[in-house]
Chains A and B, each alone.
Chain A
Amino acid sequence: MGAILNILSGHASGDSYGVIPHLDGAFDVIGVKTNAAAIYDRVHEAGMVLQDLIDDRHEWYLDRSVMDPVVIAWQPYDTGLLPQALRLSPLRGDELVVPTLDSRQSISWMMGHPRAVLLWSLTVRNLRRFGDVWPADAVRNLNSPEKNITFSDESKMVWWAQRLNLRVYGLP
């Protein structure tokens, strides 16, 4: 059974994980309580929980290519497209799925093969380095179309996955 790591801001939701609809009990839903402010730090903490989870379950076989996908979801939970994404399973070891690749849109979940999700989530916090500057100043000052691209914080995380040479698919 795959898992959904549900990032709970603060801790208030207690053991109530009913915020992830559309899944019909097909996944374990695991709360990740965190007070971290930045989405990157919250996803990183979810990655640490995911690592413990698959280690503890002894599901960690490097020589096992097909594994149930995992999802990291955060508030606000816009998970209506998740069932569509799940139909893409089984995924390859380097594949991730997000609701959209449109960098202007916010997203609230990332689904993928556990190996790909682990690599992404445990390294994404470096995006703090960019601060509010995105793209870099050098690009902003050029007379180039890139300077007009807008990015949501979440889409920066998609860029990071692509930067790692992972395959990221957006739903149509």
Chain B
Amino acid sequence: MRTAIFVRGHARTWNLTKRHNLMFFDDLYDDIDWYFGVLDTNTVDRSSVYDDFKGHKLASVLLLDPEGYRLREDLDAVLRWSTYHTAYWRLAWIDYLLGKEKRANERDRGTAYDNVVFIRPDVIYYRATHNRGSADNLEKPLNHMSVAEIGTHADVIGDVGVGDLIVRAGATAADLLTLRYADPIYTDGFDQQLVHGNSHSLLAHYPMRRFIGWSKESSGIESYLVRPDHADLTDWSVSSIDPSMRDSMTWHRLSHENRIAVCERLGISPEDYQLKT
């Protein structure tokens, strides 16, 4: 099985999660090529990323100028469903660019990845403690047109939504996911075709529109957001976390100034959390 792992988004708490996540995925898969794509802030730089991946195969590093993302950003408009949801579309843009890097590598080597995992820098990953599927399935390639870890769940308003912390995809499904920035659903000039819902429902709609299958039995990775206020919690192992890590909302209730102070103490750029200094 040839595995590519895309670490992408804002770098945020990457410096807290990296050791754990590299160890976790190394334990899970042989022969991983890592693709790292984040917005270019002060949290990481090219040199630090290469240091982080010493001893691992780092296939590509993209530190992206936020100006390269061309769609309008306006939080109030996003909440009214009247412009592009940044949490979905900007990540789609990064995946689009990393997807180009992946395909170029595949062409040069003459082989395609049959297992592609899309993860975030500010999340830690564990084997699921409850039995959603077989542990063996987690280590096998998916059908080329299937995804795992996301499914289709009805939400409170009857829409569908999925978690956006991790997606695992078979070969063709992975290419389709990297092309969602070029979603052909957008026609006739009607913005509503792209702005409907939130990042969770938009991500659920895309595999359904492309008839990508969901392999529930191959899903078995738990994910926890690591907020900056988790930094001082207990040390983590590959098998367990501090239960306090399950609280990802306290961070949002801190004052603006406090959040900036915590970020600066940890060497995290406040821009990674849309905090203006």
Asked whether A and B interact, the reply is yes
Choice from B107, B179, B191, B210 contacting A45 with Cβ under 8 Å = B107
Q: How far, in angstroms, from A95 to B188 measured CA to CA in the complex? A: 12
Return chain A residues, CB-CB under 8 Å to B185: 93-94
Q: How far, in angstroms, from A76 to B197 measured CA to CA in the complex? A: 46
Q: How far, in angstroms, from A51 to B184 measured CA to CA in the complex? A: 14
The closest CB in chain B to the CB of A129 belongs to: B144
Q: Which of A8-16, A134-142, A148-156, A161-169 contacts B (4 or more CB under 8 A)?
A: A161-169
Return chain B residues, CB-CB under 8 Å to A163: 211
Q: Does B187 contact A (CB under 8 A)?
A: yes
Q: Are A113 and B184 in contact (CB under 8 A)?
A: yes
Q: Are A115 and B189 in contact (CB under 8 A)?
A: no
Q: Which of A25-33, A79-87, A100-108, A119-127 contacts B (4 or more CB under 8 A)?
A: A119-127
Q: Does B52 contact A (CB under 8 A)?
A: no
Return chain B residues, CB-CB under 8 Å to A122: 103, 175, 179
Q: Are A93 and B187 in contact (CB under 8 A)?
A: yes
Q: How far, in angstroms, from A63 to B93 measured CA to CA in the complex? A: 13
Report A91 CB to chain B, min CB distance, Å.
9
Q: Are A165 and B209 in contact (CB under 8 A)?
A: yes
Q: Are B171 and A92 in contact (CB under 8 A)?
A: no
Return chain A residues, CB-CB under 8 Å to B190: 65
Q: Are B211 and A115 in contact (CB under 8 A)?
A: no
The closest CB in chain B to the CB of A55 belongs to: B100
Report A63 CB to chain B, min CB distance, Å.
6
Per-residue CB contact flags for chain A residues 56-80 toward chain B (1 = under 8 Å, else 0) read 0000111101100000000000000
Q: Are B176 and A123 in contact (CB under 8 A)?
A: yes
Q: How far, in angstroms, from A45 to B175 measured CA to CA in the complex? A: 14
Q: Are B175 and A115 in contact (CB under 8 A)?
A: no
Q: Does B183 contact A (CB under 8 A)?
A: yes
Return chain A residues, CB-CB under 8 Å to B112: 125
With A119-B182, A164-B210 in contact, is A61–B70 under 8 Å at CB?
yes
Q: Does A48 contact B (CB under 8 A)?
A: yes
Q: Are A118 and B89 in contact (CB under 8 A)?
A: no
Q: How far, in angstroms, from A62 to B85 measured CA to CA in the complex? A: 13
Q: Does B62 contact A (CB under 8 A)?
A: no
Choice from A61, A62, A165 contacting B210 with Cβ under 8 Å = A165
Q: Are A63 and B191 in contact (CB under 8 A)?
A: yes
Return chain B residues, CB-CB under 8 Å to A119: 176, 179, 182, 184
Residues of A within 8 A of B (CB): 45, 48, 51, 60-63, 65-66, 92-95, 113-116, 118-119, 122-123, 125-126, 129, 163-166
Q: Which 9 pairs from chain A and chain B are nearest by CB?
A: A92-B187, A94-B184, A93-B187, A93-B184, A115-B184, A126-B172, A65-B189, A115-B182, A116-B184
